[in-house]
Chains A and B, each alone.
Chain A
């Protein structure tokens, strides 16, 4: 989505009613964020909406980006937020070989997740249960971590269910929404 560097458009304040709606939506989508919601979206503070190219809108609090959204698609968390609250999202892991493709903005392919270095939910090698037990359906928002790295490198929307991925082991798995080093990452909010 943000392969090229982007220039932010108009910045406007979010109405407090709309702000409540966003808060509710965030909680609905990411119930695990509940304990921290007051840190992320304080009730009193003024949210800003920054318009980005291609009908993407970005919600920010001061100069920290929080969530972005393409038209009325689900809210996606900004990676800086993911880094702060890594456990609150559905996570998958890719193997080392796939990192460089992801960081140059490629669509994530299934082999990167199914190979030994990758992790899907219910993975036999995932002893801690870090990657969850539930299979995920297409359309879910996932955070992509990488083998041997602590922090997440991408946020995207699943194109294929995880169950199907395990069977097919090929094809596009996850659309690149926002990755480390992309235009949204490099965006500076004055």
Chain B
């Protein structure tokens, strides 16, 4: 432990749960963390997940405490797994809607909904849209609750391409272009 101190010390963080790998076992995603470590830092993996290390971990606790800890860990793991599954399901089911709304004859605004489900900060995205397309772009509340991005001008196809190009988290199938729901047919 007491190595010569060269500062700043570099600490490795787990790519799955972001903790230092030695704490992964308390994070609830042990399995994934272990796999990550194995494929990315096999050396450390050997050190942390060897039979000896595991046994040593257990021996320092009383039997009863061990059981309790185990139960707790299981609960935590189950919770983490279910939370992840839920997030994934939501991600798969949620859609990004790009709406073209006629504002005046031959004038349009484009509304984008649903980007927030993909872990994007819509305020920032709105700013980016504005910059990219050189138009006004803002975040507006919608009556049904929630927020959407409103971009001035008819940009639905451009936005479609841009979203797919820049935000790789958003699967292409989940992006949809629609005309305004109101009956007014586009010109």
Contacts and interface: CB of A to CB of B under 8 A. Distances in A.
Contacts of B1: 150
A151 B14 CA distance: 13
Interface in B79-108: none
A85 B19 contact: no
Contacts of A149: 20, 22-23
Interface string B102-139: 00000000000000000001001000000000000000
Contact of B20 (A85, A130, A151): A151
Interface in B50-65: 56-57, 60-61, 65
A85 B26 contact: no
A85 B18 contact: no
A20 interface: no
A103 B60 contact: no
B2 A84 contact: no
A157 interface: no
Contacts of A35: 7
Contacts of A99: 23, 26
Contact of A100 (B8, B11, B18, B69): B69
A132 B122 CA distance: 49
A180 B19 contact: yes
A83 B11 contact: yes
B11 A87 contact: no
Please indicate which of the listed interface residues B5, B9, B57 has the most CB atoms of chain A within 10 Å of its own CB.
B9
Size range of the chain B interface in the assembly: 20 to 34
Contacts of A117: 60
A185 interface: yes
Interface in B1-59: 1-2, 5, 7-11, 17-20, 22-23, 26-27, 56-57
B7 A148 contact: no
Interface string A150-190: 11010000000000000000000000000011000110001
Nearest to A81: B8
A185 B18 contact: yes
A35 B110 CA distance: 56
B34 to A, nearest CB: 16
A151 B9 CA distance: 10
Given A97-B65, A100-B69, A151-B11, A190 B124 contact: yes
Contacts of A54: none
Contacts of A147: 60
Contact of A150 (B7, B22, B56, B121): B22
Contacts of B23: 99, 103, 146, 149, 151, 153, 180-181
A148 B57 contact: yes
A186 B18 contact: yes
Interface of B: 1-2, 5, 7-11, 17-20, 22-23, 26-27, 56-57, 60-61, 65, 69, 72-73, 121, 124
Interface of A: 35-36, 39, 80, 83-87, 95-97, 99-100, 103, 117, 128, 130, 146-151, 153, 180-181, 185-186, 190
Given A148-B56, A190-B121, 4 more contacts: A85-B8, A100-B26, A150-B22, A180-B23
